[in-house]
Structures are given as C-alpha cells and as structure tokens.
C-alpha cells in the first residue's frame, strides 16, 4: 500500500460510490471517504472495505492526501476544491463544475500557485467511440468540420428512478436537464470541434412527473466556423445518443449507446461502421480514473482540464440565461 496514491472521495452518494469503486478497480490507490450521512458512510465503508472515514472535510484535512474526488452537490464543488487545493491536493471534480462562476478565479489562482492537476468529470471523453472518431476528425481525413448535430434522449423514470429525490429537481443544486445531461453533450461537442462562442437555447418542462425543472432542451451554437445544434429530452422511450460531425469531405456519426461510430463520404452510400467498442458498465469511469492518476504522476493530462470545465460551465449559464431572456448569449472568456 505504501506506493499507492492516497485518494479521498468526498461524497459517496450514487456518483461518489461509483468513483470509489472505479478508482479502487485501478489497483493504484488507498481510498478514504468523507461523507456527512453517518448511515451511508458506514454502509459504503463496509461494502468497499474502507477503514479511513471522515464525517466532514475539516476532519479529513487533518490528514495528508495526494488527490481527492469531489462528488458533492454542485454548489459545494468550488468551496471544497479551494480548501483541498490549499492543502496541495490534486482534484477530480464532478460535473457541472459549479452552478455559478463565483470562486472560479480563486481556484485557478490556488491551483497555479501549487502546481496542481485538476480534472472535471465529463466522462464522455473517456468513451473509446468518441475518442476514435475525434482522432479521425483531427487527422483531416474528412476535411474541416462545418456542422455538429447532437441528439439524445432517455426515459428518466427507467434509468434514473430516484430523480425526484436527488438534486435533479432543484436547479440551484445543479438540477434540470441543462446542468444534468445537456452539459455532457455540449462538453463532448466542444472537445470534438472546438469551444462554443455563442448560443441560443430553448427549454421547458414537458413530461417528467414530480419535478418542475426543464426536461427538454434545444440549443443552437456557433463554435468558431462550425454551426451546431443540440437536442435532448429525458422522457422518450428509446435510450439513444447520436453525435454527427459534418465535414467538408465526409460525415462522422458516433452512437455511444451502441458503442460504434460510422462514416459516409460519397453521396447515397450507406453508413460504414468504422469501429465498435463493446464496454462494461464502469469502463468509462475506470478510464477516467486511470487518466487522472496518470496526470497526478505527471505522465498525462486529465481527460477534461479545469479550463475546459470552466468553459462548459459558462455554456451552462449561457443556456439558462438564454432560456430566461429568449436571446443569443456570448460566451465570455
């Protein structure tokens, strides 16, 4: 155990438990947990054989850690990140990075002063389908991208049956379709074709019972010279995601739910399956954990850097403002 990195998981609800499990799967860490809920803390500690547990971050910070995963409600991310960073702890922060820009500048300053690694947990970047398609696009094989079209839908009562009881129903806690799921799609789109410069969004609560936040979102973007459109609902029967990048000499389409990506370069030709990557339930999170640990050791960068996470946070806020005011929003940098 002496050569393993000491990693603190802060918050062991659903996503925190998954991070704990997947970091342990790497075989490279000694895990501790920090969780205010005493019953949950004891349950998770027993399930994953974690001997070092803490009821709050103040108590945890009496001990040294190499890295921490912050999986608490979104408004707590930046305050906790700053406190951990001041102690020289490398960070993986759950998405969204926050629900406002308050504290972003301070975190940047502390991270720079302490030469820390910070990743934001946009896990689509760990998907081999998207990674393989990005490599093909970046190679110039299809020419420069000119348009990106993203469509996703899922039946939340089936896939997230506890959505009424968790943060999802409260926008101030990072809930609603924009901050919960659309943020993943926009972050993936920015990774594939470049950052969003401006956008206009529409959203509404149309179907989901027991909540008032938006469950359906449509967004138009400008990403440099690339035009974008993103559509999401959290109530349709089929579970699907399609990310289509139209380039000057061909078109690529990722279907992560089907674990494949396709291409077409000639008029009227059928889609050609470029690659298929069957994955297990935790594959993306284990990949994300591995990449983060490599970054902590100086051997790589995290999948989504702090700057990329801040950029997507600005997009989240711009989408919410656009819905509220019905107009295009510039993304300030």
pLDDT tens digits along 262-283: 999 999 999 999 999 999 999 9
Q: Return the minimum-mean-pLDDT range out of 37-51, 154-168, 311-325.
A: 154-168
Which CATH fold topology does 5-122+285-303 show? Rossmann fold (3.40.50)
Determine the 3-state secondary structure of 147 from DSSP: strand
For the chain, what are the domain ranges? 5-122+285-303, 124-278+313-330
Given a contact cutoff of 8 angstroms between Cβ atoms, the answer to whether 211 and 164 are in contact is: yes
d(CA 319, CA 189): 15
CATH class of 124-278+313-330: alpha beta
Residue 59: which pLDDT band, with cuts at 50, 70 and 90? very high
Q: Is 26 left (phi over 0), alpha (psi -120 to 50) or beta?
A: alpha
- Token representation of residue 328: 């295009």
In tens, the pLDDT along 271-330 reads: 999 999 999 999 999 999 999 999 999 999 999 999 999 999 999 999 999 999 999 999
What ranges make up the beta strands (E) of the chain?
Answer: 5-10, 29-34, 53-54, 67-70, 90-94, 118-121, 145-153, 198-204, 216-223, 226-233, 240-247, 250-255, 260-264, 272-276, 329-330
Its sign, for the CA torsion 54, 56, 61, 66, is: positive
pTM: 0.96
List the one residue out of 259, 265, 247 whose CA is nearest residue 130.
259
Q: Which residue has the tokens 């100086």?
A: 298
């Amino acid at each position: 155990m002496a050569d393993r990195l000491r990693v603190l998981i802060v918050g062991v609800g659903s996503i925190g438990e998954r991070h704990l499990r997947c970091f342990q799967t790497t075989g490279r860490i000694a895990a501790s947990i920090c969780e205010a809920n005493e019953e949950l803390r004891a349950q998770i500690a027993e399930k994953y054989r974690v001997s070092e547990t803490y009821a709050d971050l103040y108590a945890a910070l009496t001990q040294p850690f190499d890295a921490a995963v912050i999986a608490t409600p979104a408004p707590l991310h930046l305050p906790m990140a700053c406190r951990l960073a001041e102690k020289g702890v490398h960070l993986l922060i759950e998405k969204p990075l926050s629900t406002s820009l308050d504290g972003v500048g301070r975190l940047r300053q502390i991270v720079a002063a302490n030469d820390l690694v910070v990743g934001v947990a946009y896990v689509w970047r760990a998907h081999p389908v998207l990674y393989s398609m990005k490599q093909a696009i970046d190679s110039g094989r299809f020419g420069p991208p000119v348009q990106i079209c993203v469509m996703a839908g899922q039946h939340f009562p089936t896939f997230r049956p506890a959505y009424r009881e968790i943060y999802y129903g409260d926008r101030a806690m990072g809930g609603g379709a924009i901050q919960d799921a659309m943020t993943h799609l926009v972050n993936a789109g920015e990774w594939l074709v470049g950052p969003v410069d401006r956008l206009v969004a529409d959203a509404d609560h149309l179907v989901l019972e027991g909540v008032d936040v938006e469950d359906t979102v449509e967004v138009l973007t400008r990403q440099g010279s690339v035009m974008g459109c993103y559509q999401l609902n959290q109530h349709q029967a089929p579970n699907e995601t399609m990310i289509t990048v139209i380039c000057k000499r061909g078109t690529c389409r990722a279907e992560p739910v089907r674990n494949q990506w396709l291409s077409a370069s000639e008029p009227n030709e059928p889609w050609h399956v470029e690659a298929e990557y069957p994955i297990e339930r935790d594959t993306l999170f284990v990949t994300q954990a591995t990449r983060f640990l490599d970054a902590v050791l100086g051997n790589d960068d995290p999948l989504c850097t702090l700057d990329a996470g801040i950029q997507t946070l600005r997009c989240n806020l711009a989408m919410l403002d656009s819905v509220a005011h019905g107009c295009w929003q510039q993304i300030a940098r």
